[in-house]
């Protein structure tokens, strides 16, 4: 009799559905009030865990819970035991060492789970968030190939798996020029639109979402996403002014209909490229910074609000249909340009058509 583990042939049985791409996965499931777990993994090998501060993560929008090993142990799920069907080579029963649910006191390898974050903000409907396909080489290639010109919009980069107002969302940009004295300055905006629900969508004051209705799952989605807004300018602004500018992003996204829903995690950033300075070790004792008088900032705020509003619409207009494969929960269609134009014309907000709604 052959002894298991000593060079005998083991027939392999495959699941045909998985091989042909028609298998069902737990990530394909969608249930009411469903949440998702993301594991924070160690970037180090053989490191000692000194402290885990979860306070900020627990306060983040959309986060339901954050678990460390101590939390799991308190719930009675500290360690796992994995029984095996196979004996040792000599026929004896193997001793299975319990495995920790999360790292405790030390990490033993790169990628070992340390913290489990349970959250509602999620783009896994269209993206495989666990695949982590972007490697260091991809990041370096992106930095090495930076160029001027139009920014890619729609289904690209971080916007690939995003949904906005029940339509395919993604990356969007817009900008405005403002003049101070004899010089022009730019307010540039980039958004990653993954927020809103269909009946909220408003474009230039027109309730588009109430007119473009259908029975597809995407049109029934509730607010469960988030939006990131980055505002950049070459205008010299001080830190307190940039904070004020970032807050105006909320007004910009609100003009498209979102009230900043309970399940929406919204992040707004603003920065200025003005006031270049030498490296600290080469700088003089005293440094000078320029800044705009606060009394003249209203045109800047208006430009920021307008560009944010437009960037969200641009993200949706540039997006393409996505999903609809055996691996995706839904097919998410992009907004149809002709349908949008027809609605805008009804309200006299497109071209020369002036009709009452």
Residues 204-255: pLDDT tens digits? 999 999 999 876 666 666 777 789 999 999 999 999 999 999 999 999 999 9
pLDDT at 2 > cutoff 60: no
Average pLDDT over residues 18-22: 61
Assess whether 165 and 44 both reside in one domain.
Answer: no
The beta strand positions in the chain, using DSSP E, are 36-41, 47-48, 63-67, 79-80, 99-100, 106-107, 113-119, 163-164, 167-168, 170-180, 183-194, 226-233, 265-272, 322-323, 331-332
Sequence-ordered list of residues with C-beta below 8 angstroms from that of 245, at least 6 positions apart, any chain? 231, 233, 237, 270, 297, 300, 301, 304
Nearest one of 331, 324, 339, 128 to 218, comparing CA atoms: 331
pLDDT at 329 > cutoff 90: no
Distance (Å, whole) CA 245 – CA 356? 36
Assess whether 304 and 191 both reside in one domain.
Answer: yes
Assess whether 156 and 115 both reside in one domain.
Answer: no
According to the model, what pLDDT value does residue 164 have? 92
Residues 104-138: pLDDT tens digits? 888 888 888 888 877 654 566 666 666 667 778 88
On whether residue 67 sits in a domain, the answer given is yes
According to the model, what pLDDT value does residue 353 have? 43
DSSP state of 280: G
**Of 96, 119, 142, the domain-final residue:** 119
On whether residue 142 sits in a domain, the answer given is no
> What residues are annotated to the active site?
226, 264, 266
Q: Which has more confidence, 196 or 74?
A: 196
According to the model, what pLDDT value does residue 121 have? 45
Assess whether 300 and 162 both reside in one domain.
Answer: yes
Q: Of the ranges 19-23, 146-150, 306-310, which is most confident?
A: 306-310
Query: What does the radius of gyration of the chain's CA atoms come to, in whole angstroms?
Result: 26
Assess whether 200 and 305 both reside in one domain.
Answer: yes
Q: Which has more confidence, 304 or 71?
A: 304
Q: What is the CATH number of the domain that holds 40?
A: 3.90.1170.50
Distance (Å, whole) CA 18 – CA 356? 54
Residues 280-314: pLDDT tens digits? 888 888 888 889 999 999 999 999 999 999 999 99
**Of 60, 95, 119, the domain-final residue:** 119
Q: Which has more confidence, 144 or 119?
A: 144
According to the model, what pLDDT value does residue 125 have? 62
Nearest one of 218, 2, 188, 178 to 89, comparing CA atoms: 2
Average pLDDT over residues 266-287: 89
Please report how many Cα atoms fall inside a 13 Å half-sphere around the Cα of residue 291, on the Cβ side: 12
Average pLDDT over residues 146-175: 89
Average pLDDT over residues 43-68: 84
Distance (Å, whole) CA 265 – CA 30? 20
Assess whether 230 and 334 both reside in one domain.
Answer: yes
50, burial (CB in 10 Å: exposed 0-12, middle 13-18, buried 19+): exposed
Residue 84 banded pLDDT, cuts 50, 70, 90: low
On whether residue 339 sits in a domain, the answer given is yes
pTM to 2 decimal places: 0.63
Average pLDDT over residues 271-276: 93
Residue 357 banded pLDDT, cuts 50, 70, 90: very low
Q: What is the CATH number of the domain that holds 258?
A: 3.60.70.12
Buried b (16+ CB within 10 A) or exposed e, 164-173: bbbbbbbbbb
Q: Of the ranges 145-149, 219-223, 309-313, 320-324, which is most confident?
A: 309-313
Residue 93 banded pLDDT, cuts 50, 70, 90: confident
Lowest mean pLDDT among 4-8, 67-71, 284-288, 310-314: 4-8
According to the model, what pLDDT value does residue 337 have? 95
Assess whether 179 and 70 both reside in one domain.
Answer: no
According to the model, what pLDDT value does residue 246 have? 96
Assess whether 37 and 90 both reside in one domain.
Answer: yes
- Give me the number of domains the chain comprises: 2
pLDDT at 12 > cutoff 60: no
Distance (Å, whole) CA 162 – CA 253? 16
On whether residue 257 sits in a domain, the answer given is yes
Assess whether 97 and 219 both reside in one domain.
Answer: no
Assess whether 51 and 178 both reside in one domain.
Answer: no
Please report how many Cα atoms fall inside a 13 Å half-sphere around the Cα of residue 261, on the Cβ side: 25
On whether residue 201 sits in a domain, the answer given is yes
Other Cβ atoms closer than 10 A to 242: 17
Averaged pLDDT score across all residues of the chain: 82
Average pLDDT over residues 80-91: 67
Domain span at 104: 33-119
**Of 99, 119, 139, the domain-final residue:** 119
Assess whether 115 and 157 both reside in one domain.
Answer: no
Assess whether 110 and 180 both reside in one domain.
Answer: no
């Amino acid at each position: 009799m052959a002894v298991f583990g000593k060079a005998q042939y083991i027939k392999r049985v495959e699941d045909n559905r998985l091989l042909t791409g028609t298998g069902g996965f737990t990530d394909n499931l969608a249930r009411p009030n469903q949440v998702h777990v993301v594991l924070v993994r160690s970037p180090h090998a053989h490191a000692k865990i000194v402290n885990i501060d979860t306070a900020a993560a627990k306060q983040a929008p959309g986060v339901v819970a954050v678990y460390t090993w101590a939390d799991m142990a308190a719930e009675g799920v500290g360690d796992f035991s994995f029984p095996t069907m196979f004996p040792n080579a000599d026929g004896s029963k193997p001793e299975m060492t319990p495995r920790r649910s999360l790292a405790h006191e030390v990490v033993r390898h790169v990628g070992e789970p340390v913290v489990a974050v349970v959250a509602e903000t999620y783009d896994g409907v269209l993206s495989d968030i666990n695949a982590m396909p972007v490697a260091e080489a991809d990041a370096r290639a992106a930095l090495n190939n930076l160029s001027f010109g139009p920014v890619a919009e729609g289904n690209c980069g971080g916007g690939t798996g995003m949904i906005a107002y029940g339509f395919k969302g993604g990356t969007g940009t817009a900008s405005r020029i403002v003049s101070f004295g004899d010089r022009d300055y730019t307010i540039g905006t980039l958004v990653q639109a993954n927020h809103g629900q269909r009946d909220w969508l408003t474009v230039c004051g027109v309730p588009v979402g109430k007119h473009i209705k259908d029975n597809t799952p995407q049109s029934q989605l509730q607010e469960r996403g988030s939006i990131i807004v980055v505002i950049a300018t070459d205008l010299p602004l001080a830190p307190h002014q940039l904070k004020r500018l970032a807050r105006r992003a909320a007004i910009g996204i609100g003009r498209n209909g979102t009230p900043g829903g309970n399940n929406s995690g919204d992040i707004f950033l603003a920065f200025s490229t003005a006031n270049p300075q030498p490296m600290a070790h080469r700088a003089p004792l005293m440094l000078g910074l320029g800044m705009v008088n606060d009394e003249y900032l209203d045109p800047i705020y208006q430009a920021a609000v307008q560009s944010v509003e437009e960037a969200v619409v641009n993200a949706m207009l540039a997006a393409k249909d996505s999903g609809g494969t055996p691996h995706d929960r839904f097919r998410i269609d992009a907004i149809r340009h002709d349908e949008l134009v027809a609605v805008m014309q009804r309200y006299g907000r497109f071209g020369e058509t002036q009709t009452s709604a």
